[in-house]
Amino acid sequence: MAKKSGKVLVVGGGIAGIQTALDLAELGYYVYLVEKKATIGGVMAKLDKTFPTNDCSI
């Protein structure tokens, strides 16, 4: 069988996609994070403050 690739495609650069990419990178994989907009961040980057810590979302 052909050798498996150590690279992963993550589709969507919102909080879920970013977290997946970060964890995969830490687990020893190379990640392509594909986002259709001009910046990653998704909806969470639009939120002013997040519950419950009221941290800035960015």
Q: Rg of the Cα trace of the chain?
A: 14
DSSP string computed for 1-38: -PPPPSEEEEE--SHHHHHHHHHHHHTT-EEEEE-SSS
Write down the least CB distance from residue 24 to other proteins, Å: 5
Q: Least Å distance between CB 3 and other proteins?
A: 7
Site for other proteins in 24-53 (CB under 8 A): 24-53
Q: How many residues does the chain have?
A: 58
Window 7-26: contact mask with other proteins (x via CB under 8 A): xxxxxxxxxxxxxxxxxxxx
Binding positions for other proteins, rule: CB under 8 A: 2-55, 58
